């Protein structure tokens, strides 16, 4: 087997984004090497996709997202795996099966090529694990100081059964709220990776594909809605629900799974774990008679931290947290981002 050509430079330069030889080498030697598949053709301006819509039984679903993370690498992943998982997850919680991705990379001059290789390798592994393919993309290089190392923008394409009905408009008073695992892990792991405030730790980000979780929940009659609680955490998802159904969302502090390190960091720095990003969790709303079956299914499939954490109740549009002591605390909408550049 021929040895893969290696870039002559150890760091990204502006020449890698000028459309000439260096840019072609960057794409061919790194991006194509790691992300190659039968659908990726970097010599054309548009990709031809083979999608079987099964005579109208399925519909196309499209999502788009951007990723700016500091640091680029953190315990449990890096910006590359995060971009793949984040895009897949938006499709998965909509009830779709992810198939294709597009990728736009905005690389800052001076980025270490070795870092870029690790990011692309993580992207490739995440794609293989989820059986999705990058089919098109673009690369830009910006001047030193105008980017955070690398920014990624993705588009995801998937298929969903046309008969499937999920959405905020289906929520009703009495519905139960379920979360598939502990909350705030990603936001806290990224913060610890920055080693700010003299804090260090080995907490892993929860970043992963939630497609298996979503597919399991789709088998439960009475599933109304799913969301992956990224920026703004579960509290922000709760506010979306409260606005959509003009009702009160009541969360139970004693039932929400929060790991000890997450709770300790939040107590020290004044953060609220319910507003911290998760990147491998699902918040689901189910009819009251279906909630226990959904929880049992997730527990049986290995998601032992899954929990029923609240319900939708008649009342004003707001989010109320019932504390462990039996009191109540209103969770106001997030206004200031407590942790910039975490996803």
CA separation for the pair 223, 302 (Å, rounded): 20
Instruction: Tell me what pLDDT residue 1 has.
Output: 41
Tens-place pLDDT, residues 79-130: 999 999 999 999 999 999 999 999 999 999 999 999 999 999 999 999 999 9
| Contact partners, residue 8, CB within 8 Å, separation at least 6 | 25
Q: How far is CA 228 from CA 87, 172, 292, in A?
A: 11, 20, 20
Say what the pLDDT of residue 20 is.
78
Is this prediction's pTM over 0.85?
A: yes
Collapsing DSSP to helix, strand or coil, 97 comes out as strand
Q: What DSSP string runs through 23-36?
A: HHHHIIIIIIHHH-
Cα 140 to Cα 121: distance, rounded to the nearest angstrom: 19
Q: Is a pLDDT exceeding 70 seen at residue 327?
A: yes
* pLDDT attached to residue 194: 83
Report d(CA 78, CA 36) in Å as an integer.
Answer: 20
216 sits in which H/E element: helix 211-217
Identify the burial level of 181 via C-beta atoms within 10 angstroms of its C-beta, where 0-12 means exposed, 13-18 middle and 19 or more buried. Answer: buried
First to last CA, the chain: 38
Angle at the Cα of 206 from the Cα atoms of 76 and 277, rounded to 5 degrees? 115
Question: Are 43 and 52 contacting, i.e. CB atoms less than 8 angstroms apart?
Answer: no
**Which of 15-24, 205-214, 316-325 comes out lowest in average pLDDT?**
15-24
Fold matches, 14-42+52-161 and 168-330: no
Cβ proximity of 69 and 191 under 8 Å: no
* Ranges 18-22, 45-49, 258-262, 284-288: which has the least confidence: 45-49
| Domain boundaries defined on the chain | 14-42+52-161, 168-330
Check whether domain 168-330 has CATH 3.90.650.10, yes or no:
yes
Note whether 43 and 27 are within 8 A (CB). Answer: no
Q: Spell out the residues 6+ positions from residue 327 whose beta carbon is closer than 8 angstroms to its own.
A: none
Please check whether the domain covering 14-42+52-161 is classified as CATH 3.30.70.980.
no
Which residues is 108 bridged to in the sheet?
A: 142
Find the radius of gyration of the CA atoms of the chain.
Answer: 21
267-321 residue pLDDT tens: 988 889 999 999 999 999 999 999 999 999 999 999 999 999 999 999 999 999 9
């Amino acid at each position: 087997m021929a040895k893969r050509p290696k870039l002559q430079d150890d760091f990204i330069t502006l020449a890698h984004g000028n459309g000439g030889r260096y840019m072609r080498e960057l794409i061919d030697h790194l991006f194509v090497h790691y992300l190659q598949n039968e659908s990726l053709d970097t010599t054309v301006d548009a990709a031809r996709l083979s999608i079987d819509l099964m005579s109208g039984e399925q519909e196309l679903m499209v999502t788009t997202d951007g990723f700016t993370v500091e640091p680029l690498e953190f315990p449990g992943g890096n910006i590359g795996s995060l971009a793949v998982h984040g895009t897949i997850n938006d499709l998965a919680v909509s009830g779709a099966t992810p198939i294709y991705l597009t990728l736009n990379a905005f690389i800052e001059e001076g980025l270490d090529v070795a870092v870029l290789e690790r990011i692309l390798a993580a992207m490739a592994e995440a794609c293989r694990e989820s059986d999705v393919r990058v089919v098109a993309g673009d690369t830009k290089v910006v001047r030193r100081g105008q980017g955070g190392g690398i920014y990624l923008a993705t588009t995801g394409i998937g298929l969903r059964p046309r008969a499937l009905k999920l959405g905020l408009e289906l929520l009703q008073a009495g519905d139960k709220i379920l979360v598939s695992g502990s909350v705030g892990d990603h936001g806290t792991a990224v913060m610890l990776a920055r080693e700010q405030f003299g804090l260090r730790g080995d907490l892993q980000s929860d970043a992963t594909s939630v497609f298996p979780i979503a597919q399991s929940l789709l088998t439960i009659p009475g599933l109304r809605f799913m969301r992956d609680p990224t920026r703004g955490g579960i509290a922000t998802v709760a506010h979306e629900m409260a606005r959509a159904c003009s009702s009160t969302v009541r969360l139970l502090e004693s039932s929400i799974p929060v790991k000890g390190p997450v709770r300790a960091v939040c107590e020290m720095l004044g953060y609220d774990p319910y507003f911290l990003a998760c990147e491998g969790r699902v918040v689901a709303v189910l009819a009251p008679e279906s909630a226990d079956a959904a929880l049992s299914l997730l527990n049986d499939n290995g998601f032992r931290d899954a929990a029923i954490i609240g319900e939708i109740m008649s009342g004003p549009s707001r989010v109320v947290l019932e504390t462990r002591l039996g009191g109540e605390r209103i969770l106001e909408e997030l206004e200031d981002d407590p942790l910039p550049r975490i996803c």
